[in-house]
Each structure stands twice: as structure tokens, then as C-alpha cells.
Copies of this chain bind each other. A is one copy, B any other.
């Protein structure tokens, strides 16, 4: 069977991408060039589709929002601190390689021997890095008791390192939280231009983690609902409206420092591992799209507080015009008291802002003749209990849009800062 072995040993994801991809690593960034298989263009040329894995911040937060998402929350199923750390080291190496368009380990899909299970599952062979980012977060349950397991012990000796802002979200009005779609000890947010690349990444991390973690829930998102850089168009959510017009952008560094990145004064020394990090709020929000679609245009625009086409605040012309909440028409405010844009605006939230990075989803049908569609809301903020939580309390009680929303998944994760060369995910938490 010489032929067989011969064809295997010369084959890897890197090799498929061409010799140019082999070994070119500059400043922790690049690595892989090659055709972009997700696109239907015959020849796009050699474009770098790699987002640097290491840096001051984790990628996938202010990175220009990729079009596709696979998000997974894991339960840690071992009590062994050593096993968990060992997995995190393996994850780091595999994640960094995958963001370069490489297999989890060199020649992992094929080259480790015929009698060994492949170390990479192979379905991304031949695909480009597709701007893959992998962002890790730690949930409250990793540190002890939490909503997912109120009786849990401090299995890994890190309870004292838990930041105050890492806690279960409170209950909000009108939500129907399902534990099987909520919580988790560790999260991985995989974003990419090509969903097969994002799915491959989560699957391979899950596989590396066998015996240490198990998938608690996972969510695919087919279309981004946020722009995170000034160069991106504002996309539309499943209500057909532009979403995130007033989002914080990567260029707003002062705003990011104020509202997204954890400062060194935010935590006592034991939780300084979070300095430069942020907190991720995930909310699976089923949208009641059929009643919404029966609402007339004026009602929809009144609920949102923006026009459907341009996305302009009611009473203004352009998407990026500032809403004027003072204008009245026949004595009533032109932007309704219950309009989403008013209630979510910093002026109604003591100046608070959050960075949104959500995705549209459709998960088959709901068994009652309707599509199970909605928004997988992701937001990053410096302290969810001073930002997302009060904002959401207000929205869940007053926002007219709430009538069409059924939040059924909820989670909060601490997102540590980025990794320096040689560091591994969670290193500053565990050492």
C-alpha cells in the first residue's frame, strides 16, 4: 500500500493552500495565503485572510465582524486542575494554528500514522483561514457555585480570583430562560467568513477537550447584525431593520477604554488577570417574527424609533444623524417614549454604552408551523452589572419591541486580555 501512504504523507491543510503558506509567520500574524473556497469567485488572488491570534486584546471583539458565527459553551466535567490546564494549553496551540488556516497539529488530519486517529478532523482541508477568530471566556461556574450548578465546589482553587463582575445575570422581565441554552464554564466564540471554518474550529476544540469538557450548548449565526469598524456597512436583523448603527467601533479607542476594556483599578490584585479584558453577554433572543410581520410599517418604525429603509432616527434623514428625542408632533414625542432607540440610547442610560456583536440565527422550525428565528445577541462591556444589566432592566420593562422578543438563552463570561508570545489561554488565571 505504498501509494496510499505516499499520498497521505504529502498532504495537509497547509499544503493544499500552497507552498507560500508554509512557515511564513511574521510578528505572530500571518501564515497562510491561498484561494478563498467559500467564495464563488474563480480567482480572487492571494489575499491574506488571517487575523492575528495574539495581541493586547483577544481577537473577535473589535475585529471587523465576520459574517458567520459558531459559539459554544462548555461544562468542565473534571475536577482535575492539571487536566484542565493541560487542555487549555492544547487548545491555545490548536486555536492559534487554526486561525492561520492550519490543522490543529502539523499534518494532524493525515500524517500521524495509519493506526492513530487523525488529530484534526479534516473538514477544513483546503479552506483558507477565512479571518477566523477564536475568543475564549470563563463563566462563573468555573469558580464555584453558579446558576448551572448551585452546589458546585471550587474545584480548581480559583474562587479567590473571581472578579466581582463575573456573576450570573439576574432575571429580567418577559424572558423565558432555558438552562439547556444558558450558562457554561467556558465559552469559545468562533467567527469567520466561512461557517465551515468556524464549525471545524469548535468541533476540534471539543474533541481535544474530551474527558475535560463537554458541549453544554452551541449556536450558529448565519449573518452578522453588527458593524464593529467604520469601514463596515450596518447589517439588518430579522426584523428587517439595520441593527447597531450607534455601535461602538474599533476606531473609538477612548470609548472602548471607558466602556469595554477592564481597567487595572477595576479589580483587586487577585483578579488583575482580567485587566485589559472584557465581559461577554450572550443572549439567545427568539424573535416572534410572524406577529412582527403583521405589524404595519408605521408601527414597526415607531417601535424601533428609526426608519426601516435608511435606518435614520425618526425625524432625521440619515442613518448616522443623531436622534433628537425632544421633537414633538401634535404634542407627542416624534420618537415614542417606548421606542427602542430612545430606551437603549446613552442619554436614557446614564451615558452607558456597550459594544454589540450579534448574529442572526434560524434553527429550523418551532414545531408549531413557524421558523425558530431570532438574534443571538453578543455584547462586550467593562462591567455588565453597571452597563448591560441596568440597560436590559429598562428595556425589558419599557421597550415596545419586547412584545416581539422571547429571550431563552443567557450567559455571561469573563474574557481575559490577549496573549503574549508563548502564553496560553487562562495562564494568568491559573498561575
Mark A residues whose CB is within 8 Å of B.
Answer: 1, 3-4, 7-8, 10-12, 37-42, 44, 47, 49, 64, 66-68, 70, 72, 75, 77, 109-110, 112-118, 120-126, 131, 180, 193-196, 199, 202-203, 206-207, 210, 214-220, 222-223, 231, 233, 235-241, 289-290, 293-298, 300-301, 307-310, 312, 314-317, 329, 334, 360, 362-365, 367, 369-371, 373
Contacts and interface: CB of A to CB of B under 8 A. Distances in A.
Nearest to A8: B309
A238 B123 contact: yes
Contacts of A214: 369-370
A324 B77 CA distance: 47
B329 A1 contact: yes
Contacts of A4: 301, 307, 314-315
A365 B317 contact: no
Contacts of A310: 7, 11
A204 to B, nearest CB: 9
A168 to B, nearest CB: 21
Q: Is the interface of A mostly helix, strand, loop or mixed?
A: loop
Nearest to A125: B236
Contacts of A301: 4
B373 A199 contact: yes
Nearest to A214: B369
7 pairs of A and B residues whose beta carbons are closest in the complex? A122-B240, A214-B369, A11-B309, A195-B222, A114-B298, A196-B223, A215-B365
Nearest to A360: B196
Given A195-B223, A222-B196, A223-B196, A297 B110 contact: yes
A295 B121 CA distance: 11
A314 to B, nearest CB: 6
A284 to B, nearest CB: 10
A217 B307 contact: no
A61 to B, nearest CB: 17
A113 B125 CA distance: 51
13 contacts: A4-B307, A113-B296, A117-B293, A118-B240, A118-B296, A118-B297, A122-B308, A123-B237, A124-B236, A180-B367, A196-B236, A220-B222, A220-B363
B296 A114 contact: yes
Given A131-B40, A215-B370, A125 B240 contact: yes
A314 B215 CA distance: 35
Nearest to A131: B40
A11 B11 CA distance: 51
A203 B289 contact: yes
A206 B125 CA distance: 37
Contacts of A116: 296-297
A114 to B, nearest CB: 4
A126 B215 contact: no
Given A1-B329, A8-B308, A203-B371, A297 B113 contact: yes
B362 A121 contact: no
B365 A240 contact: no
A238 B195 CA distance: 13
